[in-house]
Amino acid sequence: MSQAHALPSYLNPDHLGPWGNYLQQVDRVTPYLGSLARWVETLKRPKRMLIVDVPIEMDNGTIAHFEGYRVQHNLSRGPGKGGVRFHQDVTLSEVMALSAWMSIKNAAVNVPYGGAKGGIRVDPKKLSTAELERLTRRYTSEIGLFIGPSKDIPAPDVNTNGQVMAWMMDTYSMNTGATATGVVTGKPIDLGGSLGRVEATGRGVFTVGVEAAKLTGLSLQGARVAVQGFGNVGGTAGKLFAEAGSKVVAVQDHTGTIFNSNGLDVPALLEHVGNTGGVGGFAGSEAMDNADFWAVDCDILIPAALESQITKDNAGQIKAKLVIEGANGPTTPEADDILNDKGVLVLPDVIANAGGVTVSYFEWVQDFSSFFWSEDEINARLVRIMQEAFAGIWAVAQEHKVTLRTATFIVACKRILHAREMRGLYP
Ligand SMILES: NC(=O)c1ccc[n+]([C@@H]2O[C@H](COP(=O)([O-])OP(=O)(O)OC[C@H]3O[C@@H](n4cnc5c(N)ncnc54)[C@H](O)[C@@H]3O)[C@@H](O)[C@H]2O)c1
């Protein structure tokens, strides 16, 4: 291995984890970067990484220690931006990869941010609310010198929500001596949150779906849609497709898979999920084997749950013409190639689910100016940004005859490396 590609000593070369997948994606795009390829190593090395010990007193009087991270992958285009994940399986490699994908996503929609991500190795379901608050506050204090409205702005991710953001904002504000609403996004509306943020990711998924349908001659009226995950992202996307005249024929979540060839009653299903916690047992549907979900007769498939759901084992069964990735990393690289060979168009996560960070950007702008926009203004601006970004990526895919995933990486990496080149190396 050449010195230029040497892996950092803190990673195990035999088990690179998600960071290894990201490195492969960068290698795939390097031939398209022209003279900017000179700078590509900058994308393969996170700028800064902080590993912190987070000790808290548990309700029973014992002291527990948790491992926390904040990674700033690239800050060439602006302050770091990316969520905080609370999960027992979080690793440094995962946070590194997620921070890098944030760099790509932010550059793809051209919002003025670099990429960052954070996490704590903890199963928050095992903590009381008071313990969760202490954990969040101590973690925020530990990364306090690293983050800030002009430095790095966290947001919710898996198992973190508006309440966690409120504690983070309060802790940072108490430590710095001034209320700093712009230090995190995804806050409750009363604390400087933005209208439209909750639905933003699903709305972005729908927006790129509409654009791709137009470009490929797929009519949304009557189109059959299957959705995996009916939470924030999948539920909103399903609702918007149904409102556009599509039929949501199958939905899968952690409680099971439901099917109705005439189309499920989506508003009633959302209410059922709100009341019961999942889609299982919904009246007006038949239950289906979880494994059969991937072979459902549909035009549009929206994975909006977890990573690595579309694999080499089920990609061959997929009948959809269009796959829109609401989740982060739902398709493995092998499955990606199978779908491409079958002629299935995949709208990749790095553009398809960028609606969330786009409205997070609006939230941050509104916090800085202390002037808040209407929901209609927010949705209109979101749709415009997503449409423009998608059109640019589509053109690059056509020009180079590459997948939309590679095209998104080309657009984003060029923006990041161009900024790097213009700024030059300090000192
Ligand atoms: N919320 C956002 O703004 C946002 C932004 C970008 C990307 N994402 C990504 O979208 C995905 C979903 O996020 P969300 O915010 O909608 O989460 P959520 O918690 O609101 O919903 C998750 C959904 O996944 C389902 N699910 C969980 N385990 C499952 C399983 N084993 N099989 C099938 N379904 C299962 C749950 O039942 C639920 O319906 C995640 O990958 C997340 O990283 C979310």
Domains of the chain: 18-178 (3.40.50.10860), 199-343 (3.40.50.720)
Q: How far apart are the first and last CA of the chain?
A: 28
Check residue 308 and give its pLDDT: 87
Q: Which own/partner pairs from 32-35 qualify as long-range (CB within 8 Å, at least 24 positions apart)? A: 32/400, 32/402, 32/406, 32/410, 33/410, 33/413, 33/414, 33/417
pLDDT tens digits, residue range 3-18? Answer: 445 688 888 889 898 8
The answer to whether the beta carbons of residues 316 and 296 sit under 8 Å apart is no
Give the integer Cα–Cα distance in Å for 54 and 52.
Answer: 6
Atom number, ligand 1, closest to the C-alpha of residue 330: 41
Check residue 5 and give its pLDDT: 56
Binding pocket residue ranges, ligand 1, CB within 6 Å: 158, 201, 228-234, 252-254, 278, 304-306, 326-328, 353, 356
Check residue 2 and give its pLDDT: 43
Give the integer Cα–Cα distance in Å for 237 and 228.
Answer: 11
Q: Which of 232, 269, 279 to mutate to test the pocket of ligand 1 (most atoms within 8 A of CB)?
A: 232
pLDDT tens digits, residue range 148-187? Answer: 999 999 999 989 999 999 999 999 999 999 999 999 999 9
Q: How far is the CA of 422 from the centre of ligand 1 (A)?
A: 38
Average pLDDT over residues 81-88: 96
Smallest CA-to-CA distance from 241 within 229, 225, 252 is with 225
Active site residue 117: yes
Q: Is the peptide bond before 79 cis (omega within 30 degrees of 0)?
A: no
What Å distances lie between residue 270 and 36, 240, 249, 283, CA to CA? 47, 12, 14, 12
Question: With 90 as the cut, is the pLDDT of residue 141 above it?
Answer: yes
Q: What are phi and psi of 86, to 5 degrees?
A: -105, 110
Give the integer Cα–Cα distance in Å for 322 and 343.
Answer: 9
Strands 286-288 and 256-259: antiparallel
Question: With 60 as the cut, is the pLDDT of residue 418 above it?
Answer: yes
**Is the C-alpha dihedral spanning 415, 416, 419, 420 positive or negative?**
negative
Give the integer Cα–Cα distance in Å for 16 and 99.
Answer: 15
Q: Is 83 helix (H, G, I), strand (E, B) or coil?
A: strand
Smallest CA-to-CA distance from 153 within 178, 177, 186, 124 is with 186
Q: How far is the CA of 398 from the centre of ligand 1 (A)?
A: 31
Check residue 8 and give its pLDDT: 86
Q: What is the mean pLDDT of the chain?
A: 96
Closest Cα to atom 10 of ligand 1:
327
Check residue 31 and give its pLDDT: 97
Tally of helices (H runs) and strands (E runs) in the chain: 12, 12
Judge residue 274's burial from the number of C-beta atoms within 10 Å of its C-beta, 0-12 exposed, 13-18 middle, 19 or more buried: exposed
Give the integer Cα–Cα distance in Å for 388 and 109.
Answer: 8
Q: Which of 95, 161, 165, 233 to mutate to test the pocket of ligand 1 (most atoms within 8 A of CB)?
A: 233
Check residue 3 and give its pLDDT: 45
Give the integer Cα–Cα distance in Å for 41 and 420.
Answer: 11
Catalytic member of 117, 187, 239, 247: 117
Q: How far is the CA of 307 from the centre of ligand 1 (A)?
A: 9
Closest Cα to atom 21 of ligand 1:
231
The answer to whether the beta carbons of residues 325 and 303 sit under 8 Å apart is yes
